[in-house]
Amino acid sequence: MKMVMNLNKKKMICLMLAACCLSGCSSTEEIQTTEENENGKTVVTMLYTNDLTNLEKLIETTYPEIDFQVEMNTTGTIDGESERRLRNGHGSDIVASTLATGEVLNYLADLSADEYVSAYQSGIMHKTAKDGKNFFIPLPAQYYGYIYNVTLARENGLAIPTTQEELLALLEEVKKKHIGTGENDSDFAVDGVPNATATFVFASIVPDFFGLSEGIKWQDGLKNGESSFTGSLEMCLDLPLEMIDKGYMSALSFSPVSNAVPILDRMSNGELFMAFDNVSMLENIKENSEYEFDMLPMFSKEGNPSWTISSPTAFLGINKALTGEDNAQKLDACRKILGLISTPEGQNAFMLDNGAAYSYLVDYTPAAEIVPEGIKSCIDEGYNFNISMPADFMRYFGNRCNAVLCGQTDLETAFTEIDGYLHGDQENNNTQLIGTIDHDMIVENYNVRLQETEIGNLISDAVREVTGADIAVVNGGSIRGSLYEGDIYHYDLDYVCPYQNHMIILEVNAEVIRSMLENSLSTMIRNSEIPGGRFLNVSGLKYSFTAPTDDSPAKLVEVTLPDGSPLDENAVYTIAVTDYMAGISGYFDNNGDGFTMLNVYSDDTPKAKNVKLVQETGYTLQDILEKYITNHNKEVSSQLEGRITAVNGNDG
């Protein structure tokens, strides 16, 4: 699932200046949440994927005594990292999750006696109940389908498909005529993150399997541990594999060393004809483009009716830690918020913020019609399928599908692994104890993309020590999870550094180092979206920069060695970077994060000057962290050292 994440620029700038303008400032890791803010209001926190401006306004207008604060983070954080926070005593007050089952329920308050629970359709509440108790309410749903460029279709006389065969014929014509294609010559895309891949793969067979009695029977068997993927669902990859084989879609999109396709940018610019995504993405594309767009349903290969796909955007619960006597005021505020969200006004506010299109309230009339014209007939006739598989399984299934689609493994092996995961008979070392850490190192509010952090220092120090390079840099986008005081297990490293890029060692000069750092600062504020992941955490270097404003980007001020001495203009330094930064996936579709000054791999971009590849270590960041912890007798620590400082523009 992908949502476009909007970030208020003024909030980001204030955060940066408050957190890191001076080297002696406290990090966000030291900030403690209090029961009340400075105005005496009860603070209620929630981790989510975008800024809920309209919902926040409704809550604080209705309940002036409440200060509702949304911490924005990536979609992957909503489940895995959110659950890890709960487990380690750092959970938000209101918990958002796409996973309405599993361990997360152990950390949620029982909502069964709350009156607002009865406002929702019994079917959805029954699906998320455990032992007859309710721990979640469902947020409005997203519809999924094929978003396409109506303007380009009309201008080129293209026939709109009604079957899967016609869909492929359309994509073939679009490719031949080079209509709506970009740099990589593909005209169709899926966001390659595992959950999105899983949704697309399942959605593609709804008309011919999941929407039929055979598929319903298979799903019932899956719940009882009786169904298997091997021998039943191999056809679910037929469509994406054919699209890749015929060049309509790029296999690189599904590689673990590649960025997700920038669907919003490419479709808005007319450089992508069609994509599988949701109504929220469709609305964002419309807002950012002069073209006209619509959505089509999932098509049958066998002559069956077309279907739309939907699922709740997320589920909301209340942190169980608030049920103690000392938190009665905050618990009451959380219940008020969930009650307000469970009204038509609350649903409308969330829909405005998120682009969702369907409410699960029993009595609900939408304030505005946002169901796309191309899928209305399916909705009206009841051909809407709710993909309700657990999010942890969707992530794993999507990961293995990605491996098949990018050629890393074969279908038989992947499905054997999927069945092993389902039935719990597959060996794994995720529960292996790696070591310990002496205090929490928290990733929050995109701090690793904005400032020096303890966890950024730890990881970059690990890279420098294990590789033996003079300098190590780690882009903030590769750090996705926190480390918590106490034991560190192998699965913790999966959350902290989930990507499979490998570290390499380059020889570079001072000019290349400065150019690299300048690029790392270029997307700290990015067209009102989340800060870019290219911001560099460093070891073996110190640098300062002017904080970005609405009118000007961040600018590099000074670069020195750790002792404060300047870089030697005549020296050659060894530097450890990811092969991703050095062009292993090329630089199309935001891959490589713009570090073309380090390019030693891609033939589609000029090779870097004054850069020499010295060694391919074969280590991922996970490998390096594990080795580093072992080298330090399994006890690690890190602190802020003034390696990265932001200064006022007038001070530069």
| Short-list 45, 59, 127, CA closest to 90 | 45
Check whether residue 472 and residue 418 sit in a common domain. Answer: no
> Residue 75: what pLDDT?
55
- Print the domain residue range for 74: 33-138+314-355
66 within some domain: yes
| pLDDT tens string 351-375 | 988 878 889 999 888 766 678 999 9
Check whether residue 205 and residue 292 sit in a common domain. Answer: yes
25 within some domain: no
Beta strands in 216-365 (DSSP E): 274-278, 293-296, 308-312, 315-318
| pLDDT tens string 219-239 | 888 877 788 999 999 999 999
**Statement: residue 645 has pLDDT above 50:** yes
Tell me the one-letter amino acid at 605.
T
Check whether residue 244 and residue 380 sit in a common domain. Answer: yes
Check whether residue 95 and residue 107 sit in a common domain. Answer: yes
Of the residues 365, 388, 423, the one at which a domain ends: 423
21 within some domain: no
Check whether residue 296 and residue 214 sit in a common domain. Answer: yes
Higher pLDDT, 428 or 165: 165
Check whether residue 165 and residue 272 sit in a common domain. Answer: yes
Check whether residue 189 and residue 213 sit in a common domain. Answer: yes
Say how many domains are in the chain: 3
| Short-list 170, 147, 243, CA closest to 201 | 243
Work out the number of other CB atoms within 10 angstroms of the CB of residue 205: 21
Check whether residue 387 and residue 351 sit in a common domain. Answer: no
Q: Which of 140-149, 291-300, 386-395 has the lowest mean pLDDT?
A: 386-395
Of the residues 325, 355, 385, the one at which a domain ends: 355
Check whether residue 102 and residue 40 sit in a common domain. Answer: yes
Check whether residue 234 and residue 381 sit in a common domain. Answer: yes
Residue 301, domain CATH: 3.40.190.10
Higher pLDDT, 319 or 431: 319
16 within some domain: no
Inter-axis angle of helices 238-245 and 391-405, nearest 10 = 30
Token pair for 614: 């010295």
Q: Cβ(645)–Cβ(23) under 8 Å?
A: yes
The reply to whether the predicted model has a pTM over 0.75 is: yes
CA distance 461 to 465: 6
> Residue 241: what pLDDT?
97
| pLDDT tens string 531-573 | 889 999 999 999 999 988 877 889 999 999 999 999 999 999 9
CA distance 52 to 50: 6
